[in-house]
């Protein structure tokens, strides 16, 4: 893939007809309980992914997803009011999706059992106001915050509508906001490209009480000026992950590799890859995460509907189950649910 490939957009609309060409797969270990710890919901022009769309994907997959964590995506903000509080509209939207799920009409999974919302942590006193507004609006569901820190000198890589800036996580104002977040009992989802892993390591060491979750396996990048440099990217990514693993307050969301790792061009394939193909492509990144961080700091995520651009939902979970085939029952219990439950302090009691 080259830097001219125009497909690396976070909200690429999936082609349902193309996804339907996937070779049918029976779910592997279908009874294993799963908490999908990174699920988006949105309505962006012709790209809609709401509870009924997710319920359809889950039903087709045959996997036993018992709960989801809703991840902010910059949508459904309030149309007016103070600028720093408009993002609370997305939390209100997620709570509405959760209420629809609780009706039992769509799925048995507890949709948005936890919410990772957006807040700008650099705003001083307004940061606290935003966080407290999220907590109030979330009715006990807001468990974390994500503020994007992605930045790269290559405009092709950073040009994904993601408003990161250089060194955000090392900024003193951000650090003060992270302290406020931590004092409120929330986790922080860190979103970076793989060359920025040292910034997360520094952040974690500077804020040892913060619960930090690095999304998308540390986001190794394989396009733009990283194209054709697979060995270099892998070595740099692995070195960064080894240093990061020494920070006991850091956890990893496995998966989410479709768009940025760019191991296949889903616009040109005749049909989606099988779970075996996907496992072959992603195993070199997912296995080291489990080995370095341990099952008690890893959580499996499907990253839908972003990764739906290239694979069906069931294929993602079969891929994970192929890669974790050699894990013990306790390790699987942690990777597929318990780590997410503990890190996000989910209340799943009946």
pLDDT tens digits, 174-200: 999 999 999 999 999 999 999 999 999
Backbone angles phi, psi at 125, to 5 degrees: -60, -30
Inter-CA distances, 320 with 7, 259, 267, 298, Å: 24, 17, 23, 12
pLDDT the model gives residue 165: 83
Distance in angstroms (rounded) separating the CA atoms of residues 244 and 248? 9
Domain boundaries, the chain: 28-343
pLDDT the model gives residue 256: 96
- Specify the DSSP element, H or E, that contains 291: helix 275-293
Residue 207: pLDDT above 70? yes
Distance in angstroms (rounded) separating the CA atoms of residues 32 and 249? 27
Q: Note whether 48 and 87 are within 8 A (CB).
A: no
Looking at 100-104, 112-116, 162-166, 167-171, which range is the least confident one? 162-166
pTM: 0.95
Best CA proximity match to 260, nearest among 305, 222, 302: 222
Q: Which two tokens stand for residue 261?
A: 């790792």
User: Residue 350: pLDDT band by 50, 70, 90 thresholds?
Assistant: low
pLDDT the model gives residue 160: 64
pLDDT the model gives residue 162: 66
| Average pLDDT over every residue of 142-148 | 98
User: Residue 217: pLDDT band by 50, 70, 90 thresholds?
Assistant: very high
Inter-CA distances, 250 with 97, 123, 197, 211, 300, Å: 29, 24, 12, 6, 15
pLDDT the model gives residue 8: 47
**Number of other residues whose CB lies within 10 A of the CB of residue 345:** 14
- What is the per-residue pLDDT across 106-127, written as a single tens digit (0 to 9) for each? 999 999 999 999 999 999 989 9
Best CA proximity match to 122, nearest among 65, 76, 84: 84
Distance in angstroms (rounded) separating the CA atoms of residues 235 and 323? 21
- What is the per-residue pLDDT across 251-308, written as a single tens digit (0 to 9) for each? 999 999 998 998 887 778 999 999 999 999 999 999 999 999 999 999 999 999 999 9
Reduced to 3 states (helix: H, G, I; strand: E, B; else coil), residue 65 is strand
Q: Which fold has domain 28-343?
A: TIM Barrel (3.20.20)
Best CA proximity match to 44, nearest among 8, 86, 10: 10
Residues 6+ positions from 136 with CB-CB distance below 8 Å: none
Q: Which two tokens stand for residue 114?
A: 């936890």
Alpha-carbon torsion 231, 234, 238, 239, what sign?
positive
User: Residue 164: pLDDT band by 50, 70, 90 thresholds?
Assistant: confident
| Average pLDDT over every residue of 132-151 | 98
Distance in angstroms (rounded) separating the CA atoms of residues 254 and 24? 24
User: Residue 7: pLDDT band by 50, 70, 90 thresholds?
Assistant: very low
Q: What is the mean pLDDT of the chain?
A: 94
Q: Which two tokens stand for residue 97?
A: 């999706």
| Average pLDDT over every residue of 11-22 | 89
* DSSP assignment string, 156-170: HHHTTT----TTGGG
| Average pLDDT over every residue of 21-40 | 98
Best CA proximity match to 160, nearest among 223, 84, 66: 223
Residue 103: pLDDT above 80? yes
- Specify the DSSP element, H or E, that contains 339: helix 339-343
Residue 29: pLDDT above 90? yes
Query: Which DSSP symbol is given to 104?
Result: T
């Amino acid at each position: 893939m080259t830097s001219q490939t125009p497909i690396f957009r976070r909200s690429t609309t999936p082609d349902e007809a193309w996804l339907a060409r996937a070779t049918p797969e029976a779910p592997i270990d279908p009874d294993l309980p799963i908490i999908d710890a990174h699920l988006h919901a949105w309505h962006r022009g012709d790209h809609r992914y709401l509870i009924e769309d997710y319920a359809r994907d889950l039903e087709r997959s045959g996997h036993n997803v018992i709960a989801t964590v809703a991840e902010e995506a910059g949508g459904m903000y309030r149309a007016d009011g103070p600028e720093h509080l408009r993002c609370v509209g997305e939390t209100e939207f997620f709570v509405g999706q959760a209420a629809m799920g609780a009706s039992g009409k769509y799925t048995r999974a507890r949709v948005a059992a936890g919410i990772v919302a957006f807040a700008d942590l650099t705003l001083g006193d307004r940061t606290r106001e935003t966080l407290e507004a999220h907590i109030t609006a979330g009715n006990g569901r807001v468990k974390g915050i994500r503020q994007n820190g992605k930045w790269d000198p290559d405009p092709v890589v950073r040009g994904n509508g993601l408003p990161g800036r250089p060194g955000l996580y090392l900024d003193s104002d951000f650090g003060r906001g992270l302290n406020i977040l931590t004092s409120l009992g929330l986790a922080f989802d860190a979103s970076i490209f793989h060359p920025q892993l040292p910034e997360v390591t520094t952040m974690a060491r500077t804020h040892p009480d913060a619960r930090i979750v690095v999304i998308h396996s540390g986001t190794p990048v394989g396009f733009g000026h990283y194209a054709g440099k697979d060995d270099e990217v892998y070595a740099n990514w692995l070195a960064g992950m080894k240093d990061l693993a020494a920070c006991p307050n850091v956890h990893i969301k496995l998966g989410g590799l479709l768009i940025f790792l760019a191991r296949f061009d889903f616009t040109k394939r005749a049909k989606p890859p099988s779970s075996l193909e996907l496992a072959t492509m992603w195993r070199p990144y997912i296995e080291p995460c489990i080995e370095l961080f341990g099952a008690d700091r890893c959580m499996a995520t499907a990253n839908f509907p972003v990764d739906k651009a290239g694979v069906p939902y069931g294929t993602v979970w079969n891929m994970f189950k192929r890669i974790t085939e050699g894990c013990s029952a306790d390790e699987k219990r942690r990777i597929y649910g318990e780590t997410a439950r503990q890190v996000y302090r989910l209340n799943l009691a009946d």
